[in-house]
Amino acid sequence: MYTVKEVAQKINLTEHTIRFYTDKGLVPNIQRDKYNTRLFDEASLNWLIRVKYLKDCGMSIKDIKHFVDLYLEGDSSILTRYEIILKYKEIAQEQLEEAARRVKFMEKKVKHYLEIINQDISDDTTPR
Amino acid sequence: MYTVKEVAQKINLTEHTIRFYTDKGLVPNIQRDKYNTRLFDEASLNWLIRVKYLKDCGMSIKDIKHFVDLYLEGDSSILTRYEIILKYKEIAQEQLEEAARRVKFMEKKVKHYLEIINQDISDDTTPR
DNA sequence: CCTTGACTTCGTGTTACTCGAATGCAGTAC
DNA sequence: GTACTGCATTCGAGTAACACGAAGTCAAGG
């Protein structure tokens, strides 16, 4: 069983964000101890990780909540959930391509700047 | 010379966003015609593309504005700009890795769902 | 001349946090 | 036994980056 703080370190989210997510119902069956402290078991932790992945694919809080609700409905919602996951897998793939383009662009820029800087140094007749 | 609408289509941003960016000073030397309409030449368009890349690397509007101001200062700011670009190149690389992890995760999920669904169908003795 | 359509500014609304204040409980320090 | 420390809680306000709609301008077409 982990506290909010421990989970925050584990999966690199802020404590605020984790409380925000649990309050929004994105982690089903989250437990509390007698002092009302949130306690995460392995299942809750895994849910939170799933939530993070979906969010990073661009799914809104509302839609994640909807997905969680589908899960809680049980097996009858499996096909719907599959279609959602499939859609977000494709989004993830597009994001991967975009990220690759960004890296390329930034590398080009770095190279560009290096050329300018090196040229300036060799042109520079006055020592530092 | 392109209008806001044309630029929006070209680089896949909304017109709102483009006006928002220009109003924040993220596109230096943006021109206007006599009716006060924003007009983008190639240089402005390229700036906007650069802004988009930096933003997608997670740079805030404020920091992009700062970067633009450095550019307007001229050659004296080249080293500073280089360092910023270098930093965001690394961020872009981390994002690429994260994106790859996301794709992997989503592919795993898709596979998982497919297994469940197929099993259900073969278990199902009643025809549709 | 009036409508259509593309542009403008301005001001409010939305999402997803983000922060801080006020409060509560538990364990140690004296 | 009470004061302090530390970690947790809730709640409400603040922020960033748009997103949207209203209200207005202009110029060209029917």
Domains and CATH numbers, chain B: 4-123 (1.10.1660.10)
**Under 8 Å CB-to-CB from A17, ≥6 apart: which residues?**
A8
Q: How many Å from the CA of B27 to C1' of C6? A: 22
Is the model more confident about B123 or about A96?
A96
Give the gap in angstroms from C-alpha A77 to the nearest C-alpha of chain B: 11
Closest-approach nucleotide to residue A18, Cα vs C1': C17
Q: How many Cα atoms are found within 13 Å in the side-chain-facing hemisphere of A49?
A: 16
Q: How much is the pLDDT for A128?
A: 46
- Whether the CB of B43 is below 8 Å from some CB of chain A: the reply is no
Quick one: pLDDT at residue A29? 86
CB spacing of B106 vs A89 below 8 angstroms:
yes
Phi, psi values for residue B37, rounded to 5°:
-80, 135
Distance CA B90, CA B40 (A): 30
Q: Residue B128 — very low, low, confident or very high, per pLDDT cuts 50/70/90?
A: very low
Extract the runs of DSSP E, i.e. beta strands, from chain B. 31-32, 38-39
Going by their DSSP bridges, the two strands A38-39 and B31-32 should be labelled as unpaired
Q: What pLDDT does residue A20 have?
A: 93
Return the residue in B106, B119, B120 with the most chain A beta carbons within 10 A, the one to mutate for interface testing.
B106
1-40 in chain A: CB under 8 A from chain B: none
The predicted pLDDT at position A124 comes to 57
Query: What pLDDT tens digit does each residue of chain A (128 aa) get?
Result: 888 988 998 888 999 999 999 989 999 988 888 888 899 999 999 999 999 999 999 999 999 999 999 999 999 999 999 999 999 999 999 999 999 999 999 999 999 999 999 886 666 555 54
pLDDT digits (tens, 9 = 90+) for B60-99: 999 999 999 999 999 999 999 999 999 999 999 999 999 9
Nearest-10 crossing angle of helices B61-73, B78-123: 150
